[in-house]
Amino acid sequence: MIERLDHVVLTVTNIEASLQFYTEVLGMKEITFGNDRKALAFGDQKINLHEYKREFEPKAARPTPGSADWCFLTNLDPDSLQTHLTAHGIAIEEGPVTRTGALGPICSIYIRDPDMNLLELSTYKND
């Protein structure tokens, strides 16, 4: 019945800091919609941003910055990704390590965003 994921909502402490991180470090595109709401676009998906304690209704029962744990696919190989992250001053929490994605084995590097959400940046293994 469910076909695909369209968008998710990320509750953040500071929308501008999140926009800067996700656009500059991860290459997402900032978009504005509705009544000056902000979102991040990548591929065919988007992440709507809600500022903590100023969320749009309806919202999650307990919106909390730092509670997300996501895996994003990247077009960079692990070595290039590590170089890119280091150039932006981003600490690597773990990796590269082998994990299992939705379609098989992936190579992942774990980092944190400004709200300490865990981000797994991955590429599918070709072997």
Active site residues: 120
- Amino acid in the structure at residue 85: L
Q: What does residue 56 show for φ and ψ, rounded to 5 degrees?
A: -85, 150
Q: Determine whether 78 is exposed, middle or buried from the number of CB atoms within 10 Å of its CB (0-12, 13-18, 19+).
A: middle
| Beta-carbon contacts of residue 98 (< 8 Å; ≥ 6 apart) | 105, 106, 107, 108, 125
